[in-house]
A and B are shown apart, each in its own frame.
Chain A
Amino acid sequence: MFSSINSRAIVPVACAVTGFVIACCVLLYTFVKSDLITGEIHHAADLADTVIKSTRYAMLHDDRETLSQIIHNIGDQKQVEHVRIFNKKGLIMFSRDNSEVDNFIDKTAAGCNECHAESKPKRKLGAMEQARQFTNNDGHDVLAITAPIYNEPECSNAACHFHDAGQSLLGTLDIGVSQAPLKKTLTQLKGRMIMFSGMVLVLTVGAVCALLYRQVFLPIKQLVDFTERAPDDSLNSDFPEVSGEVAKLANAFQKMTARVKELEERHPQSKEAPSKDPLP
């Protein structure tokens, strides 16, 4: 396989370039994927914040019907897979899915155990820690955010209900958005990167091959053909169309052959009886 100069020059370069380009593309894809997921998490966290702010007035006035209507309307959006609000004890108070209401949430489920892993639950979480990715019962990939609803002076001072000032957490909003658009974008990105990498590889390896062939292999082949010609042929005819080092080599060979021929003509006996030992 590696006997010819072509394969010895091209195969290692092609393999090294291919491996490096694939490694870089995988890393680039991972970076872009990570950035897109981070953006999606921030977007979902903003959405959860918007929901909490939108429901704040209804909560302060203990307007459960309006609150339920808001939750249903948000849940009816195409990208929203689920939306629910549960109290500190984990009892689901409002949900788009009516069958969930008045049931306790599973604290050991993915997303909940971020806060409840230790005996004392965490009080504050960053946007990235609030997020969880999972496949729901319908088989859809979901990115969910759990946003805590903290007690505020307006809540504890409100005349309508009973939250005391010492209670830090009133409840949690859990909203899940579909990851289908993100997955579709990532699939498109993967396809485009594979295509782009393939083109870069073909161009790089092709250009290296073409240049090596034109600049090195072809002149060498011409030189080999020239030197392997029958000794009686005229050396002046069919001189290879080469330049640079290969031309110098062809000239040197031509001079050497002419000199050997001259010597042979001067001493014809040496041509007829060559030495047995070619080595000096």
Chain B
Amino acid sequence: MSQAGPHPDGQQMSGRDELRQRIEARIRRLERVSLAGLWSMVLFLIISFGAYENFSFFPEISEDFRRMLGAPPPSEMISLALVIYAFSGIVGTLARMSRNIKPFRGLMHTAFFAAFYAFYFLSGVLPDNFWAVFFAGLSVMGLENYYLWAHSNEALQKEREMLARLRGDGE
């Protein structure tokens, strides 16, 4: 800890300052991470808004394109997959919470729920199933983002305490 490296400005920097800078950098990174889940949630809400409008702002899909895509899966199969995905998503997050494993940060859930909207849309039953996907997405992503936020906040609090102690010692 007492090691002192050369500063870019050429000044000699104390180990304490270097440590403080490292902690501050970690705090900034954790603050960014705690907000990362919010962006995936915002993206999900934007896609949900489009789905609520039955993607009417997109041009109508041509018959040739539909033929190229092939027959859509039966809506019962999509619904079954949605229930399984939502259930396993919630159980997975709860398991990670109980074992204190690092939370998931990517946009995977958003992509999966967008795919469910797309499948229902192509099957022509999106208006009937919109609320199911919306509430499933809200519960899975809400829980995941809550865990991400709580996990980051906990680490943030530790870093801030360390920084405060470091500043206290320096005075």
Contact = CB atoms under 8 A, between A and B. Distances in A.
B142 A27 contact: no
B54 interface: no
Interface stretch (B21-29, B64-72, B130-138): B130-138
A24 interface: yes
B131 to A, nearest CB: 5
B14 interface: no
A221 interface: no
Contacts of A27: 79, 82-83, 129, 132
A12 B86 contact: no
Contacts of A15: 139, 142-143, 146
Contacts of A19: 135-136, 138-140, 142
B132 A18 contact: no
Interface string A14-34: 011111101110110011011
Interface residues of A, number: 20
Contacts of B136: 19-20, 23
A20 B132 contact: no
Interface in B66-88: 75-76, 79, 82-83, 86-87
A8 interface: yes
Given A23-B134, A31-B79, 18 more contacts: A12-B146, A16-B90, A16-B139, A16-B143, A19-B138, A19-B140, A19-B142, A20-B139, A23-B136, A23-B139, A24-B83, A26-B129, A27-B129, A27-B132, A30-B125, A30-B132, A34-B75, A34-B128
Interface of B: 75-76, 79, 82-83, 86-87, 90, 93-94, 125, 128-129, 131-136, 138-140, 142-143, 146-147, 150, 165
